[in-house]
Amino acid sequence: MQSRPLISCLHVAPALVLVLTACTTTTRIDNYQRSSMGAIEHGEAVVVLREPHLAARETENDFIDCVGKALSRSDDALRVIPRGEFVDGMYPYFEDGTAPVSVEGVSKLAENPVARERMAGMNLRYLVWIDGFTANVDGTGSMSCAISPAGGGCLGWTAWTNEGAYTAEIWDLKLGIEAGSFELDARGTSHLIGLLVPIPLLANVKGNACSAVAHWIAFSVRGG
């Protein structure tokens, strides 16, 4: 399937947009796959979790929470269980190091009567794993600031680029299959202009990535 670019930009004054045309963020979805599955039914729930692993760099909990909230806002009829509520309610089965690493692992976990009863009480249909992070990958420019008896200020310009890379796996627990997956790449350049007072023009890379991930999860679980 071809990449689907989604482009957005921070709202800034038109004059500054003319000076800094790079104040955009670009978000791209790649390798989108979906198995044949029906739409989520009334009362069934979705939960979004970070993929558990022992790597030095782990997906940020605030990003996972952002996706969960954006997914909930996307449709009032879509019931989304908050990450913390789910993990606490299923303790200790979804802690790092104990969480299942495959949809078959969830089916095996359901053989445990305690885990099965808790999951049934939540009426969980889809479990979504997110892996990835946003990082500063490049910087340029310089700025100097000074203070004197006559006053002070900053002069110069700096810019830096943030890149985000995330993957999502969607498990259909009713059918016992991996129902879908996709990859997301996001990139944006932020600027700081020194004109006596520092003026920041920030590219919201992580926020745009959050919205895009939530959109594609909703599209998948609705059977869109």
- Domain of residue 158 covers 4-221
The total domain count for the chain is: 1
Please give the share of the chain, as a percent, with pLDDT higher than 90. Answer: 41
Please give the share of the chain, as a percent, with pLDDT higher than 70. Answer: 85
Please tell me the pTM assigned to this model. 0.81
What CA–CA distances, in Å, run from 108 to 15, 89, 123, 126, 167?
Answer: 60, 18, 17, 16, 24
Cα(28)–Cα(44) distance, rounded to whole angstroms? Answer: 29
Q: Which H or E run includes 88? A: helix 83-89
Cα(182)–Cα(71) distance, rounded to whole angstroms? Answer: 16
CA 211 to chain centre: 7
Contact 33, 181 (CB under 8 A): yes
Cα(5)–Cα(216) distance, rounded to whole angstroms? Answer: 13
Helix 205-221 and helix 61-74: axis angle, to 10°?
Answer: 50
Going from the first residue of the chain to its last (224 residues), give the mean pLDDT of each consecutive group of 10, the final group possibly shorter: 41 42 75 77 93 68 94 89 95 89 89 92 94 87 79 83 93 89 92 82 90 93 76
Express each pLDDT in 69-90 by its tens digit.
999 998 888 899 999 999 999 9
